[in-house]
Amino acid sequence: MSEVEMMTPGEVFKAEVLEKYPPKLAKKRGRQIVVNEAAGGEVPEILANSRTAPGILTMRGCSYAGCKGVVLGPTRDVLQITHGPIGCGFYSWLTRRNQTKPHTAEAVNFMPYAMSTDLQEDEIIFGGEKKLKAAIDEAIALFHPKAIGIFSTCPVGLIGDDVHAVAREMEAKYPDVNIFGFSCEGYKGVSQSAGHHVANNKVFTDVVGLDDTPKQGKFRFNILGEYNIGGDAFEIERIVGKCGMTLHSTFSGNSTYEEFISAHTVDLNTVMCHRSINYLAEMMEKKYGIPWFKINFIGADSTAKSLRKIAEFFGDGELTKRTEEAIAEEMEKVEAVRKEIYERCKGKKAMLFVGGSRAHHYQDLLGEIGIETIAAGYEFAHRDDYEGRKVLPSIVVDADSRNIEELTVTADEKRYQPRISEAEKAKREKEGFAFSDYDGMMKQMKDKTLVIDDLNHYETEKLIEMYKPDLVCAGIKEKYVVQKQGVPMKQLHSYDYQGPYAGFEGAINFYKEIDRIVNSNAFRLAKAPWADSPELSASYGYTG
């Protein structure tokens, strides 16, 4: 057998792709394209959270998008002002379909508004702080908000506007309004992950901990990293309530300012999207003594597992009983649909390239209907999202990461109260209960599957050409590239006007949607124009 014949499909793909790149880029991409080997619990090292090569069509977004568009965007009663050109503000306005549900018709809800200082050439030349102050004056006169967030864009950082100084000055003028700024200029960091970190820091320092009044109810906890895309948080709230638990706050889907400022009063933090909000979980544990662990409400089986883990943490027999009853009732409805759809979908192949946790979470959901994941990767992940948090000590902090402030957090002298003793925590960990941990995506994936960080359009086309997947799950920028190649595509940034996909009812919705997509004749019947008419062909020779 030749050397090529002995290679796995993943190794062949990697070799063919790297051959087309200039040597320096090929060397870098070679570390970002990995053939997984999960035997024995050890996975190969992958390069992540590094700059995208200039000129490549990347899937990534910017720091501003990660801060306002992801972490703060779903909060309905924090008035959010984009300080910058109108395009940035419009881009981040409801593009992820974050839903919210005010308790009454009169309740405050700023989400229908896109508020921006709309910087023009004059402000770029002479500065925009005066215009920002006027915008805050106008916003307070019109809406009387409890809190205002100011979000910096690229031009603001380049011209030197100090949004934090403006926030302090305007807060002195309006002492009843909490005004805070975010240095989330789009160029900061290598992806939207930088914006997540900026948002976590400012929410922790300027919002969480302002009110010590706990929400009424037993078994109180927060969910961090659930953004209510397509109504996901509504379904999670329904399930949690059915089990008898009290969900204090969701960061930040369907959330309010009042829930944020008292979020430190809970007994537990749970983390959905590890990449975007693990910082806040860690800081709240250090300052207030609130433990955290990873959960996943994407997939019926994962939802049941997460509910059981939360109930186990609280250690109440009645809660455990009620949780099991709720799971049994919900799973009966799920199984009725899954059984039918499984037969039509089993054996099909999928690729997932999205987010900082979704490419992992949705593998569980696809697996429930027999669809195998053959390749996956993240847009803005770090190594620990792939390999697990055990690699954190070995991650080298580079210059791009140093652009993001790393807060020094100490225990609050008056409010630090460990919710679980060190002895009890150690005992539970010895029994297999994981706190403050995440195994990463690669450990769960099969051997010889492909793991690719920061996938680009060229590699997307090559993957489809070589693997011919039955389904690709990715974001809006990839949607039409994939569909034009005749491959079914599920867009997981905003669900394409569908959802929810979280929880039990969400799983049923997803089963039906994927069944409809992968078993549709549309992609087999539609032909591209170039399939029926000849094309001119040429070759490109790179000489170095």
Q: What mean pLDDT do residues 394-405 have?
A: 87
**Which residue shows structure tokens 């910082």?**
279
Task: Give the SS3 label for residue 146.
Answer: coil
Please tell me the distance from the alpha carbon of residue 228 to that of residue 500, in angstroms, as a whole number: 8
- Please list the residues that pair with 148 across neighbouring strands: 79, 179
Predicted pLDDT of residue 169:
98
Q: Does the pLDDT value for residue 3 go beyond 90?
A: no
Q: Does the pLDDT value for residue 1 go beyond 70?
A: no
Q: What does the pLDDT look like over 326-371, one tens digit per residue? A: 999 999 999 999 999 999 999 999 999 998 899 999 999 999 999 9
Task: Report the residue count for the chain.
Answer: 544
Q: Does the pLDDT value for residue 483 go beyond 80?
A: yes
Confidence of residue 78 (pLDDT cuts 50, 70, 90): very high
As annotated, the active-site residues are 62, 65, 96, 196
Q: What mean pLDDT do residues 59-77 have?
A: 95
Q: Does the pLDDT value for residue 399 go beyond 90?
A: no
Predicted pLDDT of residue 528:
72
Please tell me the distance from the alpha carbon of residue 150 to that of residue 148, in angstroms, as a whole number: 7
Q: Where are the domains of the chain?
A: 63-189
Helices 232-243, 300-314: axis angle to 10 degrees equals 40
Whole-model pTM: value is 0.94
Percent of the chain with pLDDT over 90: 88
Q: What mean pLDDT do residues 500-512 have?
A: 98
Q: What does the pLDDT look like over 110-158, one tens digit per residue? A: 999 999 999 999 999 999 999 999 999 999 999 999 999 999 999 999 9
Pair 310, 242: CB distance under 8 Å:
no
Q: Does the pLDDT value for residue 99 go beyond 70?
A: yes
Would you identify the CATH topology of the domain 63-189? Rossmann fold (3.40.50)
Beta strands in 255-322 (DSSP E): 268-271, 292-294
- Please list the residues that pair with 361 across neighbouring strands: none
Contacts with 137 (C-beta within 8 Å, 6 or more apart), sequence order: 170
Task: Give the SS3 label for residue 440.
Answer: coil
- Please list the residues that pair with 372 across neighbouring strands: 349
Q: Does the pLDDT value for residue 220 go beyond 90?
A: yes
Q: What is the rounded average pLDDT for all residues in the chain?
A: 95
381 closest CA partner among 452, 431, 330:
452
Query: How do beta strands 450-452 and 33-35 pair?
Result: antiparallel
Please tell me the distance from the alpha carbon of residue 360 to that of residue 388, in angstroms, as a whole number: 12
- Please list the residues that pair with 102 across neighbouring strands: none
Least confident of 4-18, 234-248, 501-515: 4-18
Please tell me the distance from the alpha carbon of residue 279 to that of residue 201, in angstroms, as a whole number: 8
* Residue 480: Cβ within 10 Å count: 11
Confidence of residue 4 (pLDDT cuts 50, 70, 90): low
Q: What is the DSSP letter of 456?
A: B
Pair 48, 189: CB distance under 8 Å:
no
**Which residue shows structure tokens 């490549």?**
56
148 closest CA partner among 129, 135, 131, 158:
135
Predicted pLDDT of residue 5:
67
Task: Give the SS3 label for residue 245.
Answer: coil
Please tell me the distance from the alpha carbon of residue 217 to that of residue 211, in angstroms, as a whole number: 17
Q: What phi and psi values does residue 478 have, to the nearest 5 degrees?
A: -90, -20
Predicted pLDDT of residue 544:
58
| Token pair of 218 as six digits | 């037993």
In whole angstroms, how far apart are CA 348 and each of 300, 363, 464, 475, 478? 20, 13, 14, 20, 20
